[in-house]
Amino acid sequence: MRLIAAGKAIWHGAVLPQRVQEATTQAATATFAVAVLLVVVVSVWSAMIENGDATLAVESQLLTQTTAVLPADTTDLDMSSPQRQFTAILGGALTVTIVSTAALAGFFLIVTRFMTNAPITYGMAIVAVASSALVQCLDLSLSSAGHIIFHTARAGLHAGAFISPIESPMLFTWLQRISLFSLWQYVAIAIALTTWGGLHQRFGLVVGFIVWIVTRLIFGALTLVTWVVSLQKV
């Protein structure tokens, strides 16, 4: 029953966020697990398909090396085996999805309580964030389709479409996060959370937009720090 409630919550998160609360906090763990599974499967599928394109593979490797958190030195690792490549992609997708979902739920909880004083809990926030999994999957699927068709990571509904990922990888990584899908996701999460707290959905529109702006600025600051550190290593 909780798996069914989780599936309904994820569907409602994309089409009618006001109904996410029907899942109740008792289905928080199930919703979180199903959401992580869906996003990880689509992430791995998208990455494996894009790795088959030589141009996209080069861009992907360059962008991975210039993320906000500087990667460890993996020059001595043999990643020629398809099994190792799959395991590396799967591990990365699992880590990013689990950590980002938990962290985003906490951030939404803090900001929503601060801005609205709504009686929400972390369990509600987890369900609200996890319910946006379908939006994330649509974003990943459509982005990968565009990348394959146009043979570049620039394809997509994001600000990075105007920047070359080869010439400015760090700037592109940040601008890629400024997308219509990410805005949709954050507003849907906020609407689900605020209506669950007994408020009108217009509060969710405001909270979602504010959280989206703040997180884009945080990612931008991290990108700037990474750029400065990279200059010192040259």
pLDDT (0 to 100) of residue 98: 96
Residue 62 lies inside a defined structural domain of this protein: yes
Residue 106 falls within a domain, yes or no?
Answer: yes
Q: Would 180 be classed as within a structural domain?
A: yes
Q: Is a pLDDT exceeding 60 seen at residue 105?
A: yes
Residue 122 lies in a domain: yes
Instruction: Tell me the pLDDT tens digit for each residue of 126-185.
Output: 999 999 999 999 999 999 999 999 988 888 899 988 888 888 888 888 999 999 999 999
Please compute, for residue 47, the number of CA atoms within 13 A of its CA located in the half-sphere on the CB side. 20
More confident residue, 65 or 32: 32
Q: Give the range of the structural domain holding residue 182, as residue numbers without chain letter.
A: 2-70+82-233
Q: Tell me how many domains the chain contains.
A: 1
Q: What is the mean pLDDT of the chain?
A: 88
Residue 75 lies in a domain: no
Residues with Cβ < 8 Å from 162, sequence gap 6 or more? 154, 175
State the Cα–Cα distance between residues 54 and 188, nearest whole angstrom.
36
Let me know if residue 55 belongs to a domain: yes
On whether residue 76 sits in a domain, the answer given is no
Question: Is 77 a domain residue?
Answer: no
